[in-house]
Chains A and B, each alone.
Chain A
């Protein structure tokens, strides 16, 4: 096991980390360059008059953190084991787990190994597949100089996941990547580098949880780079349920070759301060990007969510759909941009983001942006935030439903169209329950009743043709559906 570093970020710490890991010279140089960038770049502060999330992050005392906290793969905490058992992925093709700064477990279906699929930690990838890593690691998809925080990430990354899918290989059951942190006053870096060759496909699910005791801050800095080859299809789902003492900075981006498609599904439930930037670099002609985002913010959580659909190639498509609820004193800023470059003719781009405010203290700011430099495009955007419609509430109450449940029903209805877009069924269920549970506080049983009812209808398939209007006897069917 490697040793922890002293507290604080510095050039010496960069060198010490790289030397400990026994990295090749190019990676050390990359780290050192990134460190110089970090020192020279100003922290982004946002706009005048915004809700101040970026300023809050800029004021965070990064130097109180330990930049590297390795873990012992042989002694995993029970909280980590437990969270693996309750993962939204039950049937999977592979699993990779990062505990604090160390990847502690990797497995991959034998069949996939034989087809040439590689799933490993990033340290091993540097040793075994240096060309691929050197070509793609924070170069083109998310360059180290994207921001002060990506520069810090490039200088101090540790752990990390590497996935390579050869041409034409289709991975059906999802791969699960788990990040778990439990050390206070520590910075953890997680990185996913996914290289999908032509005509390959995969579903990659990443779950972030934490168990950091007390009010002491911790940081999780995360970068996800997806390189999608010709006609590759990638579905990347991220369930972020960190504790509300964790600062979380995440940058996710995909670069697209011809006719590639990448879907990001991102659910943000946890963290104290979250600054999230998700992009789609639609370079390849005919490529398609999709982003489905769900969030729930309460207490004094602060989220800054940024999305970019960057249309570069011919006839590309993008769709961004974000919905979330804000309660108590939470603040959420959403900034969504559609950029259509001069050569990106025949572009279709759609963006919609909505925040539902459940308390008078919560504040939401939802801003869509559009930059169009081509003329043959179809683009639309809409972003709003507002409170529960009193007339909707009255309508449900007039049907006998008490106010707290009526509110939950409206919130669930608000989320449902986005939840329907989440391909992973367990994740849908988890979010439905999680959202309702967080709304209902102590009354969990009752909350479940409504959610279960919704699910039961789905499971029972009442939907199509279960109710006949002709005179056929239906008693038989009714008996079957009792439970």
Chain B
């Protein structure tokens, strides 16, 4: 049975302000879901909360992954369960080369789902050297870079330091290719890309698509979906998913904007309160 990410009635705040107000969503390995919605509707927050960003406070609900409620797990443990987030704004970390970082990251992810609770080795039992020997790592990296047509100068630079917008997004996808997640959340991977870069990035994502990878593609434009065909489209509004449907929903949204759904949502809310 494939892995599954199940989000139930998720509520989350940032600095006391509610952003997520009861999100329900299921993403299975092998499926591609698009999550659309206007700015400020809570899409990025959802991705961050699923990964455990400490900036947000979960006030209600559950997040299940592979049959475990991961709400109390640290972000690194969630990642080691092969949950992945491609960031909207990848952080640059000067002085740390992409190659070193990726190798450590790969070693960590291969360690798998291990608790790092107090009392246990807080370093996550990563004392084993050579758990990914350089030769193997290099070979794997080469393979992925060839697949994604990434330039090899990438890996010797500091993480995202001085990268252009397009390079940062491609670096995220390279990481995703290398770490082989079971469910990947891709937060506005299309933002800040010109049309050529968008094409390249979309092709990369398509190249990684397959029965072992479930994707939640977060975007507020329909244009990326011209390249990546989603199985399901969800629309988020005001901290909730208010509509789910097939890929035709995305086209309808492009046509009519988000307003018609908003009107519906308000009607629903009135009906619910009545």
Q: How far is the CB of A133 from chain B (nearest CB, A)?
A: 44
Tell whether A460 is near chain B: CB-to-CB under 8 Å: yes
Judge whether B133 is part of the interface by a CB distance below 8 angstroms: yes
Bin chain B's interface residue count.
35 or more
Q: A394-B75, A397-B76 are in contact. Are A446 and B126 (CB under 8 A)?
A: yes
Q: Which of B95, B109, B152 contacts A400 (CB 8 A)?
A: B109
B-contacting residues, A431-481, CB 8 Å = 440, 443, 445-446, 449-450, 452-454, 456-457, 460, 462-469, 474, 478-479, 481
A414 touches B95 (CB 8 A): yes
B157 to chain A, nearest CB (A): 10
Are A415's CB and B79's CB within 8 A? no
CB distance B179 to A467 under 8 Å? no
Contact with A along B116-130 (1 / 0, CB 8 A): 100001111011010
Does the CB pair A417–B95 fall under 8 Å? Answer: yes
- Return chain B residues, CB-CB under 8 Å to A469: 142, 145-146, 151-152
- Complex Cα spacing A403 to B77, Å: 10
**Which one of B94, B96, B127, B139 has the greatest number of beta carbons of chain A within 10 Å?**
B96
Known: A395-B93, A400-B80, A482-B133. A405 touches B104 (CB 8 A): yes
Among A390, A395, A415, A445, chain B packs the most CB atoms within 10 A around the CB of A395
A413 at the interface (CB under 8 A from B): yes
| Chain A interface residue count, Cβ-Cβ cutoff 8 angstroms | 50
Majority SS at the chain A contact face: helix
> What separation, in Å, do the CA atoms of A433 and B98 have in the docked complex?
20
A400 with B179: in contact, given A445-B127, A453-B103, A454-B100 (CB under 8 Å)? yes
CB neighbours (8 Å) of A402 from chain B are 74, 76, 108, 116, 122-124, 126
Interface residue B13 (Cβ < 8 Å from any Cβ of A): no
With A390-B55, A415-B95, A467-B152: A450-B90 Cβ-Cβ less than 8 Å: no
Q: Is B1 an interface residue (CB 8 A)?
A: no
Determine the chain A residues whose CB is within 8 A of the CB of B139 once the complex forms.
474, 478
Whole-angstrom distance between the Cβ of A453 and the nearest chain B Cβ? 6
Known: A394-B75, A416-B95, A481-B135. A400 touches B141 (CB 8 A): no
* Residues on the B chain within 8 Å of A391, using CB: 91
A412 surroundings in chain B (CB, below 8 A): 95-96
Task: Pick the contact of A467: B80, B124, B141, B175 (CB < 8 A).
Answer: B141
Q: Assess whether A443 is in contact with B134, with CB atoms less than 8 Å apart.
A: no
Q: Are A401 and B55 in contact (CB under 8 A)?
A: no
Question: Which residue of the partner chain, among A392, A404, A453, contacts B100 with CB atoms under 8 Å?
Answer: A453
Docked-complex contact A474 and B142, CB < 8 angstroms: yes
B contact set with A: CB distance below 8 Å: 51-55, 74-76, 78-80, 84-85, 87, 90-91, 93-97, 99-101, 103-105, 108-109, 111, 116, 121-124, 126-127, 129, 133-136, 138-139, 141-142, 145-146, 151-152, 155-156, 158-159, 175, 179
Question: Which 6 pairs of residues, A with B, have the shortest CB-CB distance?
Answer: A413-B95, A416-B95, A400-B108, A413-B96, A478-B135, A400-B79
- Known: A417-B94, A453-B104; 10 extra A-B contacts, CB below 8 A, are A398-B75, A399-B109, A400-B108, A402-B116, A402-B124, A403-B122, A452-B129, A467-B142, A478-B136, A478-B138
A-B contact pairs, 30 of them (CB 8 A): A390-B54, A391-B91, A394-B53, A395-B91, A396-B93, A397-B52, A397-B75, A398-B84, A399-B105, A400-B111, A401-B108, A402-B122, A403-B122, A404-B123, A405-B104, A406-B76, A409-B101, A409-B104, A414-B95, A416-B94, A417-B95, A443-B123, A449-B126, A450-B104, A453-B103, A457-B97, A464-B156, A467-B152, A469-B151, A478-B136
